[in-house]
A and B are shown apart, each in its own frame.
Chain A
Amino acid sequence: MLHLWLIPAFPLAGFLANGLVGRRASKAAVNLIAIGSVVLSLLWVLKTLAALGPLEHTHIERYFTWFQSGDLRVGFDLAVDRLTAVMLLVVTSVGLLIHIYAIGYMSHEGGYYRFFAYFNLFMFFMLLLVMAANFLLMFVGWEGVGLCSYLLIGFYFLRHSATTAGNKAFIVNRIGDYGFTLAVFLIFLGFGSLDFETVFAAAAGRPVETSAGALTLIGLLLLAGAAGKSAQIPLYVWLPDAMEGPTPVSALIHAATMVTAGVYMIARCAPLYTRAPLALDVVALVGLATAVLAAIIGLAQTDIKKVFAYSTVSQLGYMFLGLGSGAYSAGIFHLVTHAFFKALLFLGAGSVIHALSGEQDLRRMGGLRKHTPVTFVTILCAAVAIAGVPPFSGFHSKDAILLAAHHHAPWMYWAGVATAGLTAFYVFRAVFLAFFGTYRGPHHPHESPAVMTLPLAALALLSLAGGYFNVPRWLEPMFPPAEGAHDALLVYISVAAAAAGISLAWLMYVARPGLADRLAGRLGWLYRLVYNKFFVDEIYDRALVRPCVEGSSAVLWRGVDAGLIDGAVNQVGMKARDAGSVLRLIQSGSIRSYAAWVLWGSVLALAALVLSRGAR
């Protein structure tokens, strides 16, 4: 027993402490509890991994039965294998840095204790998600992080847009989770268990499905869940809106950790997907389409956080492309490096927003490299990493994905390279707009305090050098070997695309500043289409949300319920009362009329008797 349960238990205790008494505690006490619990968690992760060594086998600890019925037993079981080890390190280390950063960022905000309580709760559920040893316990973490996401997106709950964005995130995720739960039902029907160990061992004995079968269906349904959580087409729409939350939330939940849960889940289910190549193809297609679409939308956004949000959607698509190409370890590798550089981009953006007293519009920034030099340098580190400039982290992981994609289907490689160019362009567009030229806003920008810049520096280091953590090598025993030889030419092409993107951004936003606007004017409707995100939200609203709400109100409630069913019921009641009021007339209370009734009744009865006899 290594007491794995302590890893999630520390943040849970932090949540309970801050949630229950944080309101009356000092900020220092809140900080101590919130940061301390994550530190303890990280230390316990390190201690556990040191004790487990090379992790040749999955280490499972079973604690108690959550519930049991018939042949279904769901246990509170935690497990650590190499994949979980990677996730644990990323979640606790990046999580800790962002927790520390948030001390500075949130220092002026109301509901300070509430923020950190939710943050700790999130850590609890996220750690549970990656350590769960069966589908249902994973689902606890899965929905739990969704809850925290909802709570933190709507953190500024006085703002209608924030609470609406929170609802949207939760409900869109629920739609994905609908797929996830159906998949779980099928898994239990097919394998008689929900334990990863049992299911995957049984799946290993199954043949590869060449045409759509049970495993393919399971794979597609799980993909629906992953698409919800990891913001893939058609369920990506919640993530850009999620930027309503405080920026550390965007960094931790909507960039580094929670949104990658879908990637983790598909990698975890690799034994199923490997035997359902059709489902895996769909994963690759969805990922690629999302990568391209989100990158295009990202080109024209003016809110710095929205740029990075679409970038996250796009990069998650990249990870799915890697998974779908059969290179699970490449997908996880990109998950890791992305956690570093995207967390850094968001925290950097947060530092800028902090410096400008809440300004998020790129058009009212500019020239900030003189005012916020540390932020500038660290964001630059993240930018070169995400753009895929060698030898920084993003280059390594993106390359692994693109090579796998080329082996899977060459056209996917080319689409991926084009996206890499777009990525380099939009990231540097944001950097140039914010930090170069002259300042265009009304505020007095100032650099952030050390409690914020130190995490930036740490993440910058990781973004630059993180590519040398050889995640694919570490994960080799977990997954089927990725095929495809290393082809230097393919690497040069993708680097060239990145260089082209950066140069174009330099040309349009630094060398010839008016060019971008002229181009936008020239493109007209196309630009407006992209600027308005292809009107996807509006289409969903008109085609799905409104018919559902208005139909329920007009047809189901007022029509069927109040009109048809209750109308009928009231009619019956009325008719009964009418009948009663007629019959009431008989009960006149007058003896004479009763006697008359008796007389007439007897006559009638006699007549009937006579007539019936006669008829016979």
Chain B
Amino acid sequence: MILLNLCLALPAAAFLLLLLVPRSRPGWSRWSALAASLVIFAVSLALLAEFDGSNGGFQLETNIPWISAPSIRYHVGVDGMSLWLVLLTTFLTPVAVLISWRHIAARVKEFYAFLLLLELGLIGVFVALDLFLFYVFWEVSLVPMYFLIGIWGHERRIYAAVKFFLYTMAGSVLMLAAMIYLYNLAGTFDYGLLMADLVSGRMQLGARQESLLFLAFFVAFAIKVPLVPFHTWLPDAHVEAPTAGSVILASVMLKMGCYGLIRFCLPLFPTASRGNAPWIVLLAIVGIIYGALVAMVQPNMKKLVAYSSVSHLGFVVLGVFSFTQLGLDGAVYQMLNHGISTGALFMLVGYMYERRHSLEISAYGGVATPAPMLASVFMITSLASLGLPSLNNFVGEFLVLQGAAQANFTWAVFAAIGVILSACYLLWLYQRTFLGEASDEVKSHMFDLVPREWAATLPMIVLMVWMGVAAQTFLPSIGAANARILDRMQQGVVMDVKNTMPARGTEVARAR
């Protein structure tokens, strides 16, 4: 319980601490950011020891009042899904620090401060069990990313940052409205209480009401995922962001949307979720194929990886809206897998950019000759990303597709085409960048991985193999959490309400 709060307090403290580091000492900022992020990672690892994986409910909860009227509580806790997302965040933050070491030379202190603030926001999103608190963290995560792109990005960074910000805001405003509407009905922002009210029938939503509320949440999350056709902010944001920004954006931020779908849309609005599933699944499948085809023809490496994310996240949405245990487990596992393998792809593309100062595929070719180790890890990462069995993505994709097949075999028939296409765009990218004769520019600019880069890369590679072979490290707890969600979808068991403290706010709202 203390540990989970530490996971929030430490990034906040580190953020403040970094602000105090003298600007003239960029080295201090780097080392303190690295040390802080490693400590936070270690603390989050300790969560595993306290967590009971067989229990699908929320654990390590803290629930204290924050604002009395309207009733907003500091209610945090994790279940088998959010726990891993917290760990993903804390794992990738030190990685992001390491890969920015040389790349970020200007305003170093601010950069790392924003990175830690971002970590705070992201962890907060995954642990908040109060709707309003969730919204606060959701917005907190938005701001540092806006600055990471807008200040340390490439040429068109302002356009990309504003686009990113407005897109997300457009969605989250709707979500906020829906949250306030729910508060007016139930008199609480508390997730557990809302759920209890819904399950017990104390609060009943009309079909139209539920549908609109669902859509308000859904659009916010769909933009974040991003689901086609809400995705066009993503390629721009990725291309313009600095490497660490791209990594965190792809690996963790996109998961905020996926997480929201599973945490809020499904259990709060089960009927509307089912009712809207057909067209959502259609969009997901369109996204899988469309994202892959568009990725295939990109001349820019980062854009290629960005569109591949659109394709990969289509699998996540498909899994979620298959409403099957396999589909949901696969979706959550795929969220983690995508975090590792696509994060690693962005990282490696970043390494290449630092050497050759170009993101254009045509500027490369033959990189394997001057940088064989870089070529090897890029190969392994590509193989993970294209779903080679024995590496991580395969397990997730397989479960999603099998779950989709259980719901409707036709879905699997179309979605599985994405698996063919992922091989096309990744192998073609690899051929054009790493294989062939190296030009003189490539030979003179490219060199192999340095120890600092190895330190960031090796853990990712280890995880790709680990998650591909020993998936049972992760899946039981994920499965237990998802089983709860599905139970709720079936209108079965009452969700976790053991923490029903007298948290209800004013009854005014209800009286109205």
Contacts and interface: CB of A to CB of B under 8 A. Distances in A.
B435 A154 contact: yes
Contacts of B431: 163-164, 166-167
B232 A561 contact: yes
B326 A158 contact: no
A182 B475 contact: no
Most B CB within 10 A of own CB, among A170, A171, A177, A552:
A552
A140 interface: yes
A470 B134 CA distance: 70
A565 B231 CA distance: 9
A468 interface: no
Interface string B402-413: 100110010011
A549 B297 contact: yes
Nearest to B229: A565
Contact of B297 (A166, A553, A565): A553
Contacts of A186: 405, 409
Q: Counting chain B CB atoms within 10 Å of each CB, which of A150, A175, A181, A548 scores highest?
A: A181
Nearest to A551: B293
A553 B399 CA distance: 31
Given A140-B389, A154-B435, A158-B437, A178 B476 contact: no
Given A66-B471, A154-B435, A182-B413, A557 B389 contact: no
Interface residues of A, number: 49
B232 A566 contact: yes
B296 interface: yes
Interface in A491-535: none
Contacts of A551: 293
B435 A157 contact: yes
A587 interface: no
Given A147-B388, A170-B427, A69 B329 contact: yes
A548 B295 CA distance: 12
B437 to A, nearest CB: 5
Contact of A174 (B231, B395, B420, B469): B420
A69 B416 contact: no
Contacts of A175: 420
Contacts of B27: none
Q: Which of A157, A164, A184 has the most CB of B within 10 A?
A: A157
B35 interface: no
Nearest to B231: A565
A136 B383 CA distance: 17
Contact of B472 (A68, A147, A556): A68
A189 interface: yes
B476 A68 contact: yes
B53 to A, nearest CB: 13
Contacts of B290: 556, 560
Interface string B371-385: 000000000000100
A549 to B, nearest CB: 6
Most A-side CB within 10 Å, residue of B229, B390, B401? B390
Contact of A158 (B366, B423, B476): B366
Contacts of A147: 383, 388
B297 A67 contact: no
B428 A140 contact: no
Nearest to B428: A167
A436 interface: no
A118 B229 CA distance: 42
A163 B412 contact: no
A175 B229 CA distance: 27
B326 A72 contact: yes
A444 interface: no
Contacts of A553: 297
A418 B420 CA distance: 37
A600 interface: no
Contact of B417 (A65, A70, A178): A178
A70 B325 contact: yes
Contacts of B406: 189
A616 interface: no
Contact of B388 (A143, A163, A189): A143
Contacts of A69: 325-326, 329-330, 399, 475, 479
Contacts of B472: 64-68
Contacts of B479: 68-70
Given A70-B324, A164-B431, A556-B293, A171 B388 contact: no
Contacts of B297: 549, 552-553, 556-557
B155 to A, nearest CB: 17
Nearest to B329: A69
Contacts of B427: 150, 166-167, 170-171
B402 A185 contact: yes
Interface string B423-434: 110011001001
Report which residue of B167, B389, B413, B475 has the largest number of chain A beta carbons within 10 angstroms of its beta carbon: B389
B326 A178 contact: no
Given A163-B431, A171-B427, A569-B232, A67 B436 contact: no
A108 interface: no
B294 interface: yes
A167 B368 CA distance: 16
Contacts of B417: 178
Contacts of A561: 232, 294
A143 B389 contact: yes
A185 B420 contact: no
A414 interface: no
B476 A70 contact: no
Contacts of B398: 136, 181
Given A147-B388, A181-B401, A189-B409, A70 B326 contact: yes
A188 interface: yes
A157 B436 contact: yes
Nearest to A70: B325
B330 A140 contact: no
A50 to B, nearest CB: 30
A592 interface: no
B320 to A, nearest CB: 14
A178 B369 CA distance: 33
B390 A144 contact: yes
A552 B296 contact: yes
Given A181-B416, A565-B229, A565-B232, A140 B390 contact: yes
Counting chain A CB atoms within 10 Å of each CB, which of B232, B296, B399 scores highest? B232
A185 B401 contact: yes
Contacts of A178: 416-417, 419-420
A144 B389 CA distance: 7
Contacts of A70: 324-326, 329, 479
Contacts of A182: 412-413, 416
Contact of A171 (B294, B324, B368, B420): B420
Nearest to B379: A151
A557 B294 contact: yes
Contact of B436 (A68, A158, A166): A158
Interface in B293-322: 293-294, 296-298
- Which of B402, B412, B417 is most buried by chain A, counting CB atoms within 10 A of its CB? B402
B166 interface: yes
Contact of B423 (A171, A549, A560, A565): A171
A200 interface: no
A63 to B, nearest CB: 11
B232 A185 contact: no
A163 B471 contact: no
Contact of B402 (A72, A164, A549, A557): A72
Contacts of A140: 389-390
A573 B290 CA distance: 25
12 contacts: A64-B472, A65-B472, A70-B326, A150-B427, A158-B436, A171-B420, A174-B419, A178-B420, A185-B402, A553-B297, A560-B290, A565-B229
Given A67-B475, A158-B366, A158-B437, 12 more contacts: A68-B479, A70-B324, A144-B388, A167-B428, A171-B420, A178-B419, A181-B416, A185-B401, A186-B405, A552-B296, A556-B297, A561-B232
Shortest 4 CB-CB contacts between residues of A and residues of B:
A70-B325, A67-B471, A553-B297, A185-B405
